[in-house]
């Protein structure tokens, strides 16, 4: 579904309100481009065929971004066992072994759960992940999500010269072109936030630069479209390649404190 200009304006207004919430101290609190089978770890490679089939067979949800039923309560200990195969790409402790894969350690469980449901339903497209989630139950997803949330992401480093420019965009945006600051949804330290929307806003602090690059480029191109009311697609469309590089450098340098 395409959003009208009025609809997008409403979304941006909501995000603007979140920006002011962060500024007032009221806050409390993404996939490789057509990767060949030989370039991914064995568990992921073995899931490609299953993933292709699952994506083709996935039922079409008429309201893919509508709020789902309340999430099941997950068990992190059980999730650790179920997530063992995930470690081939995302690391045994949730810190990815290969930069093109996202770190999941410390990520918000509601966000992880939403992404896994979206992969399973075909709202976020990736043949490897579709294969991985094809046989997961809702309880499996809840358990895996809280397992990864309980971890700690390794600190990033960023590139100091680029990070300074990225900080300006992250914290202040560019009002003259309608580019909202990232801080409004992702928080002052990149820790993300829970919200009224399904999945909340993800933690981005310390996330792998290669993964962040791919996700921002995909949002900008429209090839990833499972964001809330297209807000990330709108924001990314206003970022140049240089902006993206600077933002990634800054975000990767952020701490991701445990709340």
pLDDT at 33: 38
pLDDT at 4: 46
With CA atoms as reference, report the closest residue to 108 among 196, 189, 184, 203.
203
pLDDT at 240: 96
pLDDT at 256: 46
Residue 135, Cβ density class (10 Å: 0-12 exposed, 13-18 middle, ≥19 buried):
exposed
pLDDT at 69: 54
Q: Up-side HSE of residue 240: CA atoms within 13 Å toward CB? A: 8
The class level of CATH for 37-149 reads mainly alpha
With CA atoms as reference, report the closest residue to 174 among 103, 247, 120.
247
pLDDT at 67: 45
For the chain, the residue count is 259
Q: Which two tokens stand for residue 179?
A: 């580019």
For the chain, the maximum distance between any two Cα atoms, rounded to a whole number of angstroms, is 50
With CA atoms as reference, report the closest residue to 218 among 106, 110, 102, 121.
102
Q: Identical fold at 5-30+155-253 and 37-149?
A: yes
Q: In the chain, which residues have pLDDT < 50?
A: 1-14, 16-40, 43-67, 256-259
What is the C-alpha to C-alpha distance for residues 240 and 59, in angstroms, rounded to an integer?
Answer: 35
Q: Which two tokens stand for residue 24?
A: 């007032």
pLDDT at 11: 45
For the chain, give every domain's residue range: 5-30+155-253, 37-149
pLDDT at 158: 78
User: Each residue of 90-134: pLDDT tens digit?
Assistant: 999 999 999 999 999 999 999 999 999 999 999 999 999 999 999
Fold of 5-30+155-253: Cytochrome Bc1 Complex; Chain D, domain 2 (1.10.760)
The model's pTM is 0.75
CB of 134 closer than 8 Å to CB of 120: yes
Contact partners, residue 87, CB within 8 Å, separation at least 6: none
Strand, helix or coil at 179?
A: strand
pLDDT at 9: 46
pLDDT at 29: 37
């Amino acid at each position: 579904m395409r959003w009208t200009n009025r609809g997008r304006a409403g979304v941006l207004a909501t995000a603007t309100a979140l920006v002011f919430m962060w500024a007032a101290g009221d806050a409390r609190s993404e996939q490789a481009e057509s990767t060949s089978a030989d370039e991914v770890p064995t568990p992921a490679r073995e899931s490609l065929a299953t993933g292709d089939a699952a994506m083709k067979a996935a039922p079409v949800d008429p309201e893919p971004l509508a709020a789902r039923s309340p999430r099941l309560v997950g068990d992190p200990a059980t999730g650790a066992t179920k997530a063992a195969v995930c470690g081939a790409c995302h690391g045994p402790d949730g810190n990815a072994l290969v930069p093109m894969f996202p770190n999941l350690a410390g990520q918000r469980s509601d966000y992880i759960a939403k992404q896994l449901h979206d992969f399973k339903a075909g709202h976020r497209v990736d043949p490897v992940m579709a294969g991985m989630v094809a046989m997961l139950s809702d309880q499996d997803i809840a358990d895996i999500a809280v397992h990864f949330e309980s971890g700690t992401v390794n600190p990033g480093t960023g590139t100091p010269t680029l990070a300074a420019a990225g900080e300006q965009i992250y914290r202040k945006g560019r009002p003259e072109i309608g580019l909202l600051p990232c801080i409004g949804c992702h928080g002052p330290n990149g820790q993300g936030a829970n919200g009224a929307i399904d999945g909340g806003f993800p933690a981005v602090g310390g996330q792998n630069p290669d993964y962040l690059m791919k996700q921002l480029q995909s949002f900008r191109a429209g090839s990833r479209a499972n964001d809330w009311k297209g807000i990330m697609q709108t924001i990314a469309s206003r970022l140049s390649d240089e902006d993206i590089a600077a933002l990634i450098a800054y975000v990767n340098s952020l701490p991701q404190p445990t709340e």
